[in-house]
Amino acid sequence: MGNEVKNRELKNKGIIEIHSGNNIETISRNSFHILSLVGTGGFSKVWEVKWKKNGQLFAMKEMSKARIIDRKSIKSILAERDILSKINHPFIINLHFSFQDSNKLYLVMDLVKGKDLRSHLNHLKTMTEEQTKFIIGCVILGLEYLNYHQIVHRDIKPENILFDEKGYGKLSDFTLSTDLSKITPKETPGTFSYMAPEILFHEPTNLSLDYYSLGIIVYELMNGIRPYLEFTAKDTKKYLSENQFSMKRHAVPEGWGIEAADFINRLLVKNPKMRLGSSGIKELKNHCWFRGFNFNDLYNFKIKSPFDVKSTKTEIKIKTIDKETYKRYKKIMKSHEYKTAFKNFFYFNIYDQNLSKDFLYNPHDPHENSNDNNNKNKAIINNHLNSNYNSFNAYINNYDYVISQDQKKIGNISLSDHIMANKNNQFI
């Protein structure tokens, strides 16, 4: 009877409730102060938020369920949440909470304010060898951790490398990530310009598919353009089917060593079995380009970043939707798929709780022996939260959809003029 009364009281508040011993903690959108908009995506906004409980700052990714379903992206969104729930590392954007209400999905993650590598590259055009080596070193540490868990990112590109205020790079956006064992040749996930040839040609691959993308990025930071930028997609596939890319000595820019070109060439080998890193990511760390580079110091944040992340300014673009799209989304909201597709989206990070030290392991050490057992425990906890309503209560809250008077006149629906006032918009 007690639980029934409590359930009725919590109804329509859009929260998750975590029971830990005698302590009860609820997490919902209302658990956070919304501070500012820091980015937008295909079906998401990212907010800087402050947890009311302790003032800690996070990034909260807010995603429209209707847009996700409309773009047939349910699988990738749920995969991202599943991958993030398994990992925790200082060179990755980590997940702390995930929850939902009737219209939105929420991922509460690490907040970093140094913008993404694409923004810096657009501003600087090229980077020095020292800057590039530092950035790639950060990515390698993140990939090393993922690879230990047999996870491939599958979308390594400048947009998905974010920087903290001190200039350390962290991997983000795990929408396309998966376990290596789950990859099938039929799939072609990723961004074409950074995609490994074996993915383009539907051939078997290994963990080194992410290293190929890394080779493209090094070349781009060195030269300001990608290797096949002037090619169409069709021409690129034809070129790759007939040729092996090789950067020549005379093409190395002033201020760069020939070792960097060798690093690029070895990463861009078409055959994944012959590619640098095919026998493990230590091949990248031991390459002559990184001679004298201290990865331990990098891991412990003892190396000062060689470029100023505060010098780059970016403009946030607000997306709009027209009346036809709005009607389509409203129709989606009435579907059975809309009501059931995201039922297991809830999650909380056990590292944010005051748990026994015996239960935890060092999440930053990719060679920790108790890691597998801890991930099992972590999975058990979150499966329990998703299925047992005596210890985990989740309810939905209907938000009103607001159309500004100005936008009604021109027939568009947008938050461009009211982004802060209308934070609870269903679709934007």
Catalytic residues: 155
Single-letter residue type at 206 = N
Please check whether residue 249 is in contact with residue 174, taking contact to mean a CB–CB distance below 8 angstroms. Answer: no
CA 125 to chain CA centroid, nearest Å: 24
Please check whether residue 77 is in contact with residue 175, taking contact to mean a CB–CB distance below 8 angstroms. Answer: yes
The number of helix segments (H) and strand segments (E) in the chain equals: 15, 14
- Non-local CB neighbours of 77 within 8 Å, separated by 6+ positions: 63, 68, 105, 175, 342
In the chain, what is the straight-line distance between the N-terminal and C-terminal CA atoms, in Å?
40
Token look-up 């997940």 returns 95
| CA dist., res. 16 & res. 26, Å (int) | 5
Which of 106, 94, 32 has its CA nearest to residue 342?
106
Please check whether residue 422 is in contact with residue 416, taking contact to mean a CB–CB distance below 8 angstroms. Answer: no
Return the biggest CA–CA distance within the chain: 79
The DSSP result for 51-97, as a single string, is ETTT--EEEEEEEEHHHHHHTT-HHHHHHHHHHHTT---TTB--EEE
Extract the tokens encoding 214: 């890394």
CA torsion 292-295-297-301 (nearest 10°) is: 130
Which of 342, 419, 406, 310 has its CA nearest to residue 102?
342
The DSSP result for 182-198, as a single string, is G--TT---S-GGG--HH
Phi-psi region of 269 (alpha: psi -120 to 50; beta: other; left: phi over 0): beta
Q: How many CB atoms lie within 10 A of CB 341?
A: 18
| CA dist., res. 109 & res. 347, Å (int) | 12
Question: Is 35 strand, coil or helix?
Answer: strand
